[in-house]
Amino acid sequence: MESKVVNKKECTHGSWNIKTGVLADLYTCRKCGTEKRSWQIKKEKTITISSQEYKSLLKDRDWVAALEVAGLNDWEGFDKAMELFDAYSDK
């Protein structure tokens, strides 16, 4: 994550009140009122996969959604399957 800070004026007190926002955080010095804003820019990690693999992942996602809508979570083996999945899946 990249951070960019813009200061209206320099402050050396280092005692800040912080208001967290969606796009920026606003820092206000408790002693002199100086404000600075910090923008967090998320850089998502990307990977490259084949279009065939991508289509397969979308199909699998849709299949799982259909199973959930059909009541898969009511199946008596659902909890055991989730335990197995959690134990053996890559994290």
Judge if pTM exceeds 0.75. no
* Domain span including residue 15: 2-41
Please check whether residues 33 and 64 belong to one and the same domain: no
Can you tell me the distance from the alpha carbon of 38 to that of 44, in angstroms, rounded to the nearest whole number?
19
pLDDT score of 10: 63
Q: At 23, phi and psi to the nearest 5?
A: -100, -25
Residues 37 and 56 in one domain: no
Half-sphere exposure of 63 (CA within 13 A, CB side): 6
* Domain assignment present for 46: no
Domain total for the chain?
Answer: 2
What is the tens place of the pLDDT at every residue in 1-58?
444 444 445 667 677 777 777 666 777 888 887 777 776 655 667 889 999 999 999 9
